[in-house]
Amino acid sequence: MEPGQAPKAEALRRAARRGLTPPLRLSVAAWADRFRYLAREAGSTAGKWHTSTVEVARGAMLAVTEPGVHVISAMFCTQLLKTALLENVTGYFAHLDPCPILLLQPKEDAALQFSKERIATMVRVTPVLRDLIGTRRMRNAEETLLFKSFPGGFLALAGAGSPDNLARRPVRVVLSDEIDKYPLTREGEPIALAEERTATFANWLSIRACSPTIEGQSRIASAYAESDQRRASVACPHCGHRQFLEFFSHVKWARDAEDETRHLPKTARIYCEACGAQWSEAQRLRALATARWHQTAPYTCCGVHHEPLEEYANAWRALDPCAGHEAALDAVWTWWASDLYAVYRVKCPKCGAWPVDNRHAGFTASKLYSPWAKDRPAEIAVKWLAAHTDETLKQVWWNTQAGQPYRVRAGKEVKLEVLAARAEHWPGEVPAGVGVLTAGIDVQSDRVEMEVVGWGKDEESWSIAYDVIEGDPSAPDLWHEVDAALMQTWRRDDGRPFSIMAACIDSGGHATQSVYAFAKERIGRRVWAIKGESARTGQRSPVWPTKKPTRRTKASYRPVILGVNAAKDSIRDRLALDQPGPGFMHFPADRDRNYYAQLTAERIIVKEVAGHKFYVWELPAGRANEALDCRVYAYAALCGLLHFGLRLNVFTDRAAAAYGDAGSDGPRSSGGAHSLISQLA
């Protein structure tokens, strides 16, 4: 053999062995434990990677190699390895399963920063990646930062704001970081555009990572809600019971013995929900090492609706303490695991099937699952007590500590299913508690929608009727039908007649002049053309204006400018009430789901202009809110009556007294009502 041929032959043999050796079958977590290193400048720790340091992060990494999973949504609190998940997935595919990868950041500047500070440092200190991902083949520095090639694939980094970045190349893996900060592109939702690039790959994967923001506006919260909603359980170090840690359920602290109003958050500890034992910090850290993930999304199977977390709670409460807690787990989930994946899959208690698809795996966890010293329960409690009276600080706490989207100004969640479930049947068209009827009318381009609302003592309300009158708002025929609807007489079960005492019609949108003409002719019947104030900076003006008209404004017909933000605040607070009484809203049984969806469509969000934060109501794209607008206008009509002198409680008491007398004297006349209302200007 000639000189120099031996090394070449050995190199060929090594290449042949590599070619014939099958790739390692590892999970992302196992790959990171075996190959990944941390740079000193990348965080507080350096050296060999250990997934067990933050055990709760293992679940999302295992989902990458879980059969059937194509989408992973990671909605974690801050500093709980969302970024490390994207780094490890990048390294795993570049090393063991090379393919085209697209990594998105909110802006291109953020993509450049991520490339310099995270990807470059990971490649530099991780030998298997340093040998694969080099920069010597790149033609210029710009390509080095936003495009990194390796044998069999590449990593492209881009800002999510440009549709060109999202549609330029086919990719198999899409990694989306900080998705709540993504702008809406001229071609639509950026994540959907990016995921369209995976169409040619059967084994495609999309990972979305972010801490949540405002409920109803948070992309990651919406993504998690669409997923199988996995949550982590940990075992109690005292009794072994598995529980899903929540701050308000499991964390308790003492108060000053001499002053009960003074909290002592430094005493905050986790308490087991089963045995009641207090966990020391060392016990909490040991418990975190037992973290396992469970599908918790509600589902329907065998004709029954199931809530996995509620069923688990009921199962362990019914157990004999001596029977162990595994039986409660087995009643709800099946442990499905191998070296590549591990999860508790929900099973139907009747047929044993797995009814929840794992195509979209969602993960969420709070600071209670964090091992860092600054995230101890005592520190979380200190931050809660500092924030719970301030809306802005409260949002930060919910997002960064609880890892949950913040519901602004909402003491109770308003679910349309709950509203629909409490629908009622009452005798007659008008129930006994009503004293006054008003109407709210919303004008659309091809129809008019109108709600008639009955008001009782302390503004308790009943939805009497909801009608849609189709037609052209600029044509007289439509307004003839509207006038007939406003002139309709409604009757109580004792025969007492009720008429609409005031109505508000939206003039701010379609057919403004037609609305003006219609309302102006009926001003004596208290039919008011209205317009919502332009409250772009979140101001809360009175629902009905208190400013007196000037000589100039009296000279021409003008609409009433309503404080719609204040009206919507009031209506949302009243929707959250669950017991009849002051402010409670009653609904008839004939309302469909769409009515409740429209009534609860809008969300309150935080906006900031020139450093000033404020709250405004906003309608999410694709949602309808006509029912809410009609209720706002009907409420405004009541406020107009009150402004002009109506004493609602007195008037309602008189109507109730008339109802009480109807049994002996027969139906009463409504003349008293008309004589009282006729005094209103």
Look up residue 244 and give its amino acid: F
How far is Cα 178 from Cα 92, in angstroms, rounded to an integer? 21
User: Is residue 672 pLDDT above 50, yes or no?
Assistant: no
Question: Residues 230-252: pLDDT tens digits?
Answer: 999 999 999 999 999 999 999 99
Query: Band of the pLDDT at 139, cuts 50, 70, 90?
Result: very low
Element (H, E) at 485: helix 476-486
Q: Where are the domains of the chain?
A: 27-226, 232-357+367-402, 416-677
How far is Cα 293 from Cα 542, in angstroms, rounded to an integer? 49
> Which residues, at least 6 apart from 69, have a Cβ–Cβ distance to it below 8 Å?
63, 205, 358, 359, 360, 361
How many Å from the N-terminal Cα to the C-terminal Cα in the chain?
Answer: 114
Element (H, E) at 635: helix 626-643
Question: Residues 625-638: pLDDT tens digits?
Answer: 999 999 999 999 99
Which pLDDT belongs to residue 563? 87
Average pLDDT on 1-30 reads 74
Query: Band of the pLDDT at 645, cuts 50, 70, 90?
Result: confident
Q: Comparing C-alpha atoms, which of 499, 496, 497, 498 is closest to residue 666?
A: 496
Average pLDDT on 576-593 reads 90
pTM of the model: 0.63
Ramachandran area for residue 51 (φ above 0: left; ψ -120 to 50: alpha; else beta): alpha
Which pLDDT belongs to residue 338? 95
Distances (CA, A) of 363 to 287, 337, 473: 19, 17, 49
Higher pLDDT, 460 or 656: 460
Q: Comparing C-alpha atoms, which of 404, 395, 454, 461 is closest to residue 430?
A: 454
Instruction: Locate 132 and state its tokens.
Output: 């694969």
Look up residue 666 and give its amino acid: G
Of the given ranges (128-137, 140-149, 309-318, 469-478), which has the lowest mean pLDDT? 140-149
User: Is residue 157 pLDDT above 90, yes or no?
Assistant: yes
Query: Band of the pLDDT at 429, cuts 50, 70, 90?
Result: very high
How many Å separate Cα 271 from the centre of its chain?
28
Average pLDDT on 412-420 reads 79
Of the given ranges (131-145, 363-377, 426-440), which has the lowest mean pLDDT? 131-145
Question: Residues 171-189: pLDDT tens digits?
Answer: 999 999 999 888 877 777 8
Q: Comparing C-alpha atoms, which of 489, 496, 501 is closest to residue 431?
A: 496
Average pLDDT on 558-565 reads 87
Higher pLDDT, 62 or 192: 62
Average pLDDT on 554-568 reads 80
Residues, the chain: 681
Query: Band of the pLDDT at 18, cuts 50, 70, 90?
Result: low
Element (H, E) at 158: strand 153-159
Fold of the domain built from segment(s) 27-226? Rossmann fold (3.40.50)
Percent of the residues in the chain that have a pLDDT greater than 90, as a whole number: 59
Looking up tokens 């079960």 gives 493
How far is Cα 323 from Cα 318, in angstroms, rounded to an integer? 10
Which pLDDT belongs to residue 667? 33
> Which residues, at least 6 apart from 615, have a Cβ–Cβ distance to it below 8 Å?
391, 408, 409, 538, 604, 605, 606, 607
Look up residue 511 and give its amino acid: A
How far is Cα 571 from Cα 410, in angstroms, rounded to an integer? 12
Q: Comparing C-alpha atoms, which of 35, 141, 43, 136 is closest to residue 94?
A: 35
Ramachandran area for residue 659 (φ above 0: left; ψ -120 to 50: alpha; else beta): alpha
User: Is residue 142 pLDDT above 50, yes or no?
Assistant: no
User: Is residue 598 pLDDT above 60, yes or no?
Assistant: yes
Average pLDDT on 517-538 reads 85
Average pLDDT on 311-335 reads 84
Which pLDDT belongs to residue 502? 95
Q: Does residue 446 contact residue 471 with C-beta atoms inside 8 Å? A: yes
Q: Comparing C-alpha atoms, which of 437, 482, 488 is closest to residue 463?
A: 437
Q: What is the mean pLDDT of the chain?
A: 86
Which pLDDT belongs to residue 408? 64
How far is Cα 305 from Cα 331, in angstroms, rounded to an integer? 15
Average pLDDT on 121-144 reads 73
Query: Band of the pLDDT at 659, cuts 50, 70, 90?
Result: low
Higher pLDDT, 6 or 363: 363
Q: Comparing C-alpha atoms, which of 3, 1, 62 is closest to residue 27?
A: 62
User: Is residue 534 pLDDT above 80, yes or no?
Assistant: no
- 416-677 CATH: 3.30.420.240
How far is Cα 634 from Cα 505, in angstroms, rounded to an integer? 9
Q: Comparing C-alpha atoms, which of 485, 371, 462 is closest to residue 652?
A: 462
Higher pLDDT, 476 or 554: 476
User: Is residue 662 pLDDT above 50, yes or no?
Assistant: no
User: Is residue 138 pLDDT above 50, yes or no?
Assistant: no
Question: Residues 89-126: pLDDT tens digits?
Answer: 999 999 999 999 999 999 999 999 999 999 999 999 99
2 C-beta neighbours (distance < 10 Å), count: 6
Ramachandran area for residue 407 (φ above 0: left; ψ -120 to 50: alpha; else beta): beta
Question: Residues 378-413: pLDDT tens digits?
Answer: 999 999 998 877 666 788 899 999 999 987 654 456
User: Is residue 377 pLDDT above 80, yes or no?
Assistant: yes
Question: Rg for the chain (alpha carbons), in Å?
Answer: 32
Q: Does residue 466 contact residue 449 with C-beta atoms inside 8 Å? A: yes
User: Is residue 22 pLDDT above 90, yes or no?
Assistant: no
How far is Cα 456 from Cα 426, in angstroms, rounded to an integer? 15
> Which residues, at least 6 apart from 534, have a Cβ–Cβ distance to it below 8 Å?
none
User: Is residue 619 pLDDT above 70, yes or no?
Assistant: yes
Largest CA distance in the chain: 126
